Homo-oligomer: A and B are copies of this chain.
C-alpha cells in the first residue's frame, strides 16, 4: 500500500493540447485508451459563421465522423458525455439533437441516460413565443451496459426533512414492499440513522459562467468536474474533442486526471497553453 502511494506520488499528470480537426486528430490517439469523453460541441447554426458553424441539416453526418473515432478511442468501460442543446429557429426547436441520439445508437453507442443541466441563474427574458431557455442536455453514451461509475464521489448533503425523520421508524417502513420477506430491510435501517449524504439525481444545478473573456466558455467548471468525479478516478484519462476555452483540461489537471484537448481554432489552443503554463 505504501509502495502504491509512493508510486502515485511519482506519477505525473499529462495534459495534451492538440490543434486541428477532431475528425483527423483523433486518429492519432490509441484505441481503448480514454476513460471519459466530456464535451460541448459547437451548436448548429444556420445563420452564423462563428466557431463551427455547422448547418443543422449537416450536423448529424458531421458529428458521426467524429463519434466514430470517439467510439474507437474510448475504453470498453468508459463513458461519453455530450453536452448539447438544440437551437430554436423560426419558432421551432430543431430536431438535429434527437436525430443525433438515434444515429449514435445506430453507430453502436448505448444511450444510457439523459441528464438535465438546469441553469438556475439564467437571466430572465422573453420572446413572443417562448421563455428563457434554462436547461441543456447532458447525454450519456457508453460502449456497453457495463461501465465504471463511482457514485459515492458525487453524494450530496441530505435535505432538512431527514433531521426528525429517522428518530423512530414506523412499522410500515420496516415491512414496506417487503411482504414476502421482511428480514432484508430491517438490517439496513441502521444505515439510515445519522445519514448525512444522499445520492443525487439526474437533474444537475450549476450556475452558468459569467466570463469576461472574449471567448465563450461552454460550461462552468462544475459540470465537467461532476462527471469526472462520477466516471473516472485519479490518473485516468479525460478527452475533450472540442476543448474551446479549456475548461475540461483545467478541471482534469486540478483533479489529477490525464487529459487530451483538441480544437480547430488556433487562438484557443494558444490561450489554453498559456494558461496551463501559469
Inter-subunit contact A182/B145 (CB<8 Å): no
Closest B residue to A195 by beta carbon equals B124
Q: Which B residues touch A134, using CB under 8 A? A: 201-203
**A126 in contact (CB, < 8 A):** yes
Q: Which B residues touch A194, using CB under 8 A? A: none
Q: Which B residues touch A131, using CB under 8 A? A: 151, 199-202
Task: Return the contact of A112 from the options B47, B91, B95, B187 (Cβ within 8 A).
Answer: B91
- The number of residues on chain A lying at the interface, defined by a beta carbon within 8 Å of a beta carbon of chain B, is 67
Q: How many angstroms between the C-alpha atoms of A125 and B177 in the bound complex?
A: 13
Q: How many angstroms between the C-alpha atoms of A132 and B202 in the bound complex?
A: 6
**A114 in contact (CB, < 8 A):** yes
Q: Which of A87, A105, A132, A216 has the most CB of B within 10 A?
A: A132
Task: Return the contact of A216 from the options B130, B181, B215 (Cβ within 8 A).
Answer: B181
Inter-subunit contact A199/B112 (CB<8 Å): no
CB within 8 Å of B: which A160-189 residues: 161-162, 165, 172, 180-185, 187, 189
CB within 8 Å of B: which A127-168 residues: 128-135, 145, 147, 149, 151, 158, 161-162, 165
Q: Which B residues touch A122, using CB under 8 A? A: 201
Inter-subunit contact B202/A123 (CB<8 Å): no
Inter-subunit contact B202/A120 (CB<8 Å): no
**A219 in contact (CB, < 8 A):** no
Q: Show 25 residue pairs from A and B whose CB-CB distance is below 8 angstroms, ordered by the A residue.
A: A45-B182, A45-B183, A48-B183, A50-B182, A91-B112, A91-B145, A92-B145, A93-B112, A98-B101, A99-B102, A116-B116, A118-B203, A121-B161, A122-B201, A123-B187, A123-B189, A124-B198, A124-B199, A124-B201, A126-B199, A130-B202, A131-B202, A134-B203, A135-B202, A180-B215
A121-B165, A129-B149, A135-B202 given; 14 more Cβ-contact pairs under 8 Å:
A48-B183, A92-B110, A93-B113, A95-B111, A99-B102, A112-B130, A113-B130, A121-B161, A124-B158, A124-B199, A128-B149, A129-B147, A131-B200, A172-B212
